[in-house]
Amino acid sequence: MWSDGRKRAGRRYPPGMAERVSVRLSDDEIWAFLEQGHTGILTSLRRDGAPISLPIWFAVHERTVYVNGPAHTKKWARIDRDPRVSFLVEEGLAWRELQAVHLSGTAHFVDDAETIDLVGRLLDEKYAAFRTTRSAMPEAAQRNYGRGNRLIRIEPTGRTLTWNNAKLPIR
């Protein structure tokens, strides 16, 4: 027992040490949060090593994050050159509502037709209500999105950073 006998949440803390409260998400909470997330931020590295972050739509299947997009874009060229990426999904407006999951990892291009079709269907289901029909797009945008896609899966490496401020005992 510490000299002042302090005890909180079943743990004893030395004098002057604040009680620690975890805002981390469990593994199940991480994947549930990612599955329901709407927009992710994918960061890849430029040739000079500078990071560039872009908002993207994504799908989660069997605890794997997939990102699909036009094959000719610079993000895929950057990932071809250096597959290290980070991926962030966050939500909340007020501080006590903030929660997020941040993965660092390696992007792997997916060539398996079955997986490409499956992820395509998942993306269609998830984002159908948010997409603009091709016919409503300007011709240049129609050409841009009609040139074929590439798919990556993100393999997390290292620690996944998470937080959910709603876990704090805020009055």
Distance of alpha carbon 63 from alpha carbon 46, whole angstroms: 28
CATH number of 22-167: 2.30.110.10
Kindly state the helix (H) or strand (E) to which residue 84 belongs, with its residue range.
strand 84-91
Count the neighbouring beta carbons within 10 Å of the beta carbon of residue 157. 11
> Does residue 161 have a pLDDT over 90?
yes
Start-to-end Cα distance in the chain: 29
- 133: tokens are 């029909």
Distance of alpha carbon 104 from alpha carbon 107, whole angstroms: 10
SS3 36: helix
Q: Contact, 118 vs 60, CB < 8 A? A: no
Taking residues 39-45, what's their average pLDDT? Answer: 98
Q: What is the pTM of this model?
A: 0.82
Q: Which residues contact 78 (CB under 8 A, 6 or more apart)?
A: 44, 45, 46, 47, 52
Which of 35-49, 127-141, 146-160 is predicted with the least confidence, judged by mean pLDDT? 127-141
pLDDT value at residue 105: 96
List pLDDT tens digits, range 24-33.
999 999 999 9
Among 58, 112, 49, 57, CA closest to 84: 49
pLDDT value at residue 34: 97
Kindly state the helix (H) or strand (E) to which residue 41 belongs, with its residue range.
strand 40-45
Cβ-count burial 46-56 (b if 16+ within 10 Å, e if not): eeeeeeeeeee
List pLDDT tens digits, range 65-79.
999 998 889 999 999
Q: What is the percentage of the chain residues whose pLDDT exceeds 70? A: 83
Among 66, 44, 39, 68, CA closest to 55: 39
pLDDT value at residue 20: 64
pLDDT value at residue 1: 39
Q: Contact, 157 vs 106, CB < 8 A? A: yes
